[in-house]
Structure 1
Amino acid sequence: MRKYLIQFKPFLIFISTFFGVYILLTVLYKLYLNSFETTNIDGITNFAGHNVDQLMRWFNCDIKIFKSISKPYLEVWYNQKYTLRIIEGCNAVSVLILFVSFVIAFSGKFKTTLLFIISGVLLIYILNVIRIALLTILLFYFPEKEHILHGVLFPLIIYGLVFILWIIWVNKFSKYAK
């Protein structure tokens, strides 16, 4: 048994670090969410909605985003039509937790790791804001394609970016890079 522990030590360290960081960040995020009443929207989701509004106004879109009267989500009205809602899960925090956990599990030098995490988080967040804006427009014109757009295409894009960032991290910056 000891032979296998020694042989698989790098893998076991990776797995334990990944899950340790993932669980820690998930618990911290859950504590953050629990600090809001069930009828309120958390600050990160509000910020994402605000950024979507700013982006779409920059392109002169007729957009209105505001809190639902009775539910904890943001209503998105595009061209005077209720198009979609932004819920807590739309803020990309779960994707960011996954990204950060992987990078830390394959950490390199502290400064490089920190800079990569910060730039990766910003890139993923910006792509997420663009994703919500594009989804708003596409669902306005193609509401019947909601499943393929929201359930397949846009998750593929955001998780695809995370995967590409992981590949770059492991091959260029982690302690295992050549």
Structure 2
Amino acid sequence: MDISFRNPLFVFLIKALLLYLAWTAFYELWLHPNKEIELLVVSNISWIANGIIELLGFELIVPEVLYKYEKTVGIDGTHGLFVSDSCSGITLMALFTGFIIAYPGKLLRKLIFIPIGIFTIHIINILRIVGLCIVLKHSPESFDFNHHYTFTLVVYAYIFLLWVIWTNKYASNPQRVL
């Protein structure tokens, strides 16, 4: 393996490492302690998920609970879900963004692909929350498994699919992946 500054893999790994360190510092020192962005994203997830649940014909949990705890999503007859900051998807969006930035490609394509990817990751995350609410209503005994494995796998597989699309279609000198 050629370990030089001209090796594209080496350049990608260095960029990815530097972006990861920058993101971690930014997140730990400002974004997470500040909480405003996470609260905004989680509130948006909760609000849209509750709307989808109603569109699907389910009754929501007691409205007083929803208004008192804006991070709560749920179907009547369940205790609902508390959407924590770690469920916001912000870290996954940053991981996706870091990969696209680090991987070779034209800036304009990156400026188009990154927001589309972030938006669709957010939508997938909302659908994950809706799915977990339905699981909690109809199969509460399988909630923990689905929360920790099934839906997590779906979200990560989607992000991987976005990466594959980027590397195969939009990156400079695309290297066929899959």
Alignment of 1:19-168 (within 5 A): 19-30=17-28, 31-36=30-35, 42-64=39-61, 65-68=66-69, 74-168=71-165
Counting matched residue pairs gives 169
Query: Secondary structure at 1:81's aligned position in 2?
Result: coil
- 8 Å contact from structure 2 (residues 52, 130) kept in 1: yes
Per the TM alignment, residue 94 of structure 1 is displaced from its structure 2 partner at its CA by 1.3
What is the TM-score of this pair, normalised by structure 1?
Answer: 0.84
Provide Cα deviations, 1:98-138, integer angstroms capped at 9, x if missing partner: 11111111141111111111111111110110110011011
Rate the CA distance shift 1:44–1:26 in 2: closer, same or farther, 3 A. farther
Check 1:159–1:36 CA distance in 2 against 1; reply closer, same or farther (3 A cut).
closer
SS of corresponding position for 1:60: coil
Contact persistence 2:53–2:130 (CA under 8 A): yes
TM-score normalised by the chain length of structure 2: 0.84
Contact 2:5 2:11 in 1 (8 A): no
Amino acid at match of 1:136: C
Q: Indicate conservation of the 8 Å contact 2:49/2:73, yes or no.
A: no
**How high is the sequence identity, in percent, across the aligned residues?**
25
Question: What is the alpha-carbon root mean square deviation over aligned residues?
Answer: 2.3
CA distance in 1, matches of 2:113, 2:136: 33
Deviation readout 1:9-47 (Å, 9 max, x if unpaired):
32221112112222323333331221249xxx7222112
State whether structure 2 residue 161 is matched by structure 1 residue 170: no
Q: Which amino acid aligns with 2:108?
A: K
**Whose strand fraction is larger, Structure 1's or Structure 2's?**
1
Q: Note the residue ranges of structure 2 that are not aligned, 5 or more in a row.
A: none
- Provide the secondary structure at the position in 2 that maps to 1:62: coil
